[in-house]
Amino acid sequence: MVEISDNARGALLMVGSMVAFTINDACLKAVSDELPLFQALFLRGIGTTLCLLLLTRGMGHLRFDISRRDWGRMALRTVAEAAAAWFFITALFKMPIANISAIMQALPLTVTLAGALFLGEAVGWKRLTAILVGFFGVLLIVQPGSDGFSISSVYALASVGCVTVRDLAARRMSRSVPSVMVALVAAVGVTAFAGVGSVFIEWQPLSVKAGAQLGGAMLFVIVGYVFSVGAMRVGEIGFVAPFRYASLLAALILGVVIFGSWPNAVTLAGAALVVATGLFTLYRERAMMRRYPTGLRIR
């Protein structure tokens, strides 16, 4: 049997995670032909919450002896998660999957910038320049003022902002808080939010096809989460993190095969800029971590 390194195993898990999350997105987009957003989000949330509850209990991480400060940060993260889910899925129902996936690739840039602005993390001129170039790439994807621009693009950008808040809240939590417990609380919050929203809509009958699509979404979102946790625990974060861009490749393939859509040249150029600057940002972070393993790092 061929032995593979922890980093290679982590990279494979990260690729599997990103592909699974993207397939989940494709399943949700496909089910939008039959089910309204809140109904789909609520039904998926029930299955996801139950699976995460079993996983959390099985790992022995179902805990409630968490400090009030961490509960507060977890609550903020859950609110941001619910808002991000609503904005993202609203946009996903209306725009090509590859386009929204390309916009979401700006997350490493927004988290880095927000960390500097609100958490006092050091960011030098090289990384700041990369962030600005990356944001220009986002403008190429969104293309404000063009015929392809719509409110869905604004929703996608709002989702990026909400996920950034979510990740910053997670950074502020104590390391003693189990990650699966955080995910479970978020799943409960998103499901409750969708449940309230579903009260004010007209529910549609669940066909066999829609049920299978929702089942696929539940399955792949759980697989994505489990793989992502494994990736972060097995390999070095600096090595593994760049492989999250596999989601964009998966979205491009699924967009063509399932939905028959392909981004235009400007969108692809913007996506390439965002990915390139994101990779550079991750490279700089890894380089500085090696150079300054402890203490203040000046970039």
pLDDT tens, per residue, the chain with 299 residues = 556 778 788 888 888 988 999 999 999 999 999 999 999 999 999 999 998 899 899 989 999 999 999 999 999 999 999 999 999 999 999 999 999 999 998 888 888 888 888 877 777 778 888 888 888 888 888 887 666 678 899 999 999 999 899 888 887 888 788 888 888 999 999 999 999 999 999 999 999 999 999 999 999 988 887 787 677 666 666 677 778 888 999 999 999 999 998 888 988 998 999 888 888 877 776 666 666 554 443 33
Q: What is d(CA 27, CA 220) in angstroms, rounded to the nearest whole number?
A: 9
Please provide residue 198's backbone torsions phi and psi, each rounded to the nearest 5 degrees.
-70, -15
User: What number of other Cβ atoms are within 10 A of residue 262's Cβ?
Assistant: 12
Which tokens in the block code for residue 33? 């032909």
**Nearest partner of 137 among 165, 158, 107, judged by Cα:** 107
Q: What is d(CA 239, CA 248) in angstroms, rounded to the nearest whole number?
A: 18
pLDDT for 40? 94
pLDDT for 299? 33
- C-alpha torsion 177→183→185→188, nearest 10: -170
Instruction: Report the length, in residues, of the chain.
Output: 299
Where do the H-state alpha helices sit in the chain? 6-31, 37-58, 68-94, 97-104, 107-118, 125-142, 151-171, 179-198, 208-234, 237-240, 246-257, 265-291
What 3-state DSSP class applies to 298?
A: coil
pLDDT for 175? 79
Q: What is d(CA 23, CA 220) in angstroms, rounded to the nearest whole number?
A: 7
Q: Classify residue 135 as exposed, middle or buried by CB count within 10 Å of its CB (0-12, 13-18, 19+).
A: middle
